[in-house]
Chains A and B, each alone.
Chain A
């Protein structure tokens, strides 16, 4: 048991180290930016035609307030403390004086809904289809799906999104081109609102599902084929077990496990494209907020969204690694023996 505890401790320590490295990368990358956030923001306001009186004084005041007049390392330490100890992402410049957290919280449920629904559907569909195509390898059915998934698994989701908008929304007029629900429906706990949300979510979700499902199909098929070559499958067949039982108990079980880890690892990749899907569909989630914040040079909001997405991806990976020994006895015994 002590060995298992060591495994957990090592994994947790690794999580914290990676989180710190990622935070450091983000911090110093964003400090590559010349000028400082307040100055940049005022400039972007001035470009939009706002007149700003006494901007030098405003800049000086906010520099002091945000600690931007301190040396870089002091700023770094302060940012670390604020972010991790106080969970404080700073003040939003475009929604001043709201904290960044509150602008994020308004958008977050929409992103969680879209991302959650589409990635889970894609994962389940892809693994089911991947197992079946691997099982039927060499048939016409397999070759159609295999070639389709080779073509689509690496395509960015936003390209599929653009094609779907073009065909299904504009050319055929079957779906709305953007938004999260119909303008004529008031948000509330009623069937009409849910129906509208579902209808508006279809296209952005489909853009993610198509690409991700084919990615999972490709990887699951490879796993399935390699499992089919194992001796225990031959033995199961020789024993005369029914094919469905072999598929279910011998193959699916062994493909599911690595794909649980794969799910967490792929999150970073999905989050990358996800922000642009939201922008294309004018979906009111974090991605649209990020693009708006980038456009208005709202430094704190940009940094907050980036940090939140890194934190989410890393934590998802940690959770998967922590529950992994519970679902895979091999890891458990390996950890105990190590």
Chain B
């Protein structure tokens, strides 16, 4: 599910080889959409990291998950901007906890998935031959396997915790990134400077990680971002139907609480709207980041912005 070309013929605009942070600043300056997406994502992250402090100040030290702190099912007010749930818990505080756990699960599993994706793509793409064929076949097999039903089955039978959840999510979310990154490796390995490194006696891993890797940064970010999107989508879906670690309050679990309580039928729309809007903002931020990078680094898409 990507507009990133994966044919080896597509040539990436080279990032000036050098320290990783220079590549990173080049990406930041690349596109206004990217800036908007990153700003939005950083805001959401800041909000979720500051959650304990904000909640502590707002609830005057009372625990956000304590039952009966406030009147049950209170409407929105200055004290409870989103109202309270059937147990008298402040919905805004729960929402912020949910945001933190959703982002955390997505980012941790996304990081794991991206590490695997980079390794598989570099090894297969640079080595070519049988190794590449094997890795590519496995990548495609996992890519076409609908992960959510398997995740549902595992979560239904196994007492799943945060670590296992992240591992299973990562297992299913690395292939897309691997495909995107591999396409770039295939194009980069034919470049003169890689040839130069090869004849200068650099080892295989030296070339893979020292010469090719820095130029993959934009594509690694895109792969990471797609993995996070996939993970949050799957995690939320899993929690929506009431599966997964019960002690981890994520946005999906909040939606599940709202649905089993019958929030919609009772006209308590904020219980559903809160988590939904938070999730939409996460997905929009990640999507903006991806499109921003693709506009800048995929030459086939130059001029896509219309400028």
Binding site for B on A (CB under 8 A): 14, 17-18, 21-22, 25-26, 29-30, 32-35, 40, 137-139, 142-143, 146, 150-151, 153-156, 158-159, 162-163, 165-166, 169-171, 177, 215, 218-219, 221-222, 225-226, 229, 265-269, 271-273, 275-276, 279, 290-291, 294-295, 297, 299, 302-303, 305-306, 309-310, 313-314, 317
Does B142 lie at the interface of the complex (its beta carbon under 8 Å from any beta carbon of A)?
A: yes
A154 touches B286 (CB 8 A): yes
Name the one of A17, A153, A162, A267 contacting B276, with C-beta atoms under 8 angstroms: A162
Distance in angstroms between the alpha carbons of A266 and B145 in the assembled complex: 11
Chain B residue numbers with a CB within 8 Å of A151 are: 284, 287-288
Q: Mark B127-149, 1 if CB is under 8 A from A, else 0.
A: 00000000001101111111111
Distance in angstroms between the alpha carbons of A336 and B265 in the assembled complex: 62
Asked whether A302 and B158 contact (CB < 8 A) given A229-B303, A279-B241, the answer is no
Residue of A nearest to B266 (CB): A170
Q: Top 3 A-B pairs ranked by shortest CB distance?
A: A138-B306, A33-B157, A21-B141
Total contacting residues, chain B, CB less than 8 A: 53
Does B237 lie at the interface of the complex (its beta carbon under 8 Å from any beta carbon of A)?
A: yes
B237 touches A273 (CB 8 A): yes
Can you list 25 A-B pairs with a CB-CB distance of less than 8 A?
A: A14-B137, A21-B138, A25-B141, A142-B306, A146-B306, A150-B291, A151-B287, A155-B284, A156-B236, A156-B279, A158-B237, A162-B276, A163-B276, A170-B265, A222-B300, A225-B303, A267-B144, A268-B145, A269-B1, A272-B233, A272-B234, A272-B237, A291-B152, A299-B153, A303-B153
B153 touches A268 (CB 8 A): no
Residue of A nearest to B1 (CB): A269
B157 touches A310 (CB 8 A): no
A18 touches B140 (CB 8 A): yes
Chain A residue numbers with a CB within 8 Å of B17 are: none
A150 touches B3 (CB 8 A): no
Q: Which of B54-62, B114-122, B267-275 makes up part of the contact surface? A: B267-275
**What is the minimal beta-carbon distance from A259 to any residue of chain B, in angstroms?**
11
Residue of B nearest to A286 (CB): B149
Distance in angstroms between the alpha carbons of A139 and B157 in the assembled complex: 53
A30 touches B264 (CB 8 A): no
Asked whether A170 and B146 contact (CB < 8 A) given A143-B306, A156-B237, A303-B153, the answer is no
- 8 Å CB interface, B261-307 against A: 264-265, 267, 269, 272-273, 276, 279-280, 283-284, 286-288, 290-291, 300-301, 303-304, 306-307
B241 touches A291 (CB 8 A): yes
Chain A residue numbers with a CB within 8 Å of B1 are: 215, 265-266, 269
Asked whether A309 and B149 contact (CB < 8 A) given A22-B144, A170-B264, A222-B304, the answer is yes
Name the one of B146, B241, B287, B303 contacting A271, with C-beta atoms under 8 angstroms: B146
Name the one of B146, B157, B307 contacting A34, with C-beta atoms under 8 angstroms: B157
B287 touches A154 (CB 8 A): yes
Chain A residue numbers with a CB within 8 Å of B241 are: 276, 279, 291, 294
Residue of B nearest to A153 (CB): B287
Name the residue among B144, B233, B303, B306 with the largest chain A CB count within 10 angstroms: B144
**What is the minimal beta-carbon distance from A126 to any residue of chain B, in angstroms?**
12
A290 touches B152 (CB 8 A): yes
B301 touches A225 (CB 8 A): yes
Distance in angstroms between the alpha carbons of A29 and B273 in the assembled complex: 35
A166 touches B306 (CB 8 A): no
Chain A residue numbers with a CB within 8 Å of B286 are: 154
A150 touches B147 (CB 8 A): no
**What is the minimal beta-carbon distance from A129 to any residue of chain B, in angstroms?**
15
A26 touches B150 (CB 8 A): yes
**What is the minimal beta-carbon distance from B96 to any residue of chain A, in angstroms?**
19
Distance in angstroms between the alpha carbons of A309 and B141 in the assembled complex: 13
**What is the minimal beta-carbon distance from A86 to any residue of chain B, in angstroms?**
22
Asked whether A273 and B233 contact (CB < 8 A) given A142-B306, A218-B3, the answer is yes
Asked whether A221 and B153 contact (CB < 8 A) given A177-B264, A272-B234, A276-B240, the answer is no
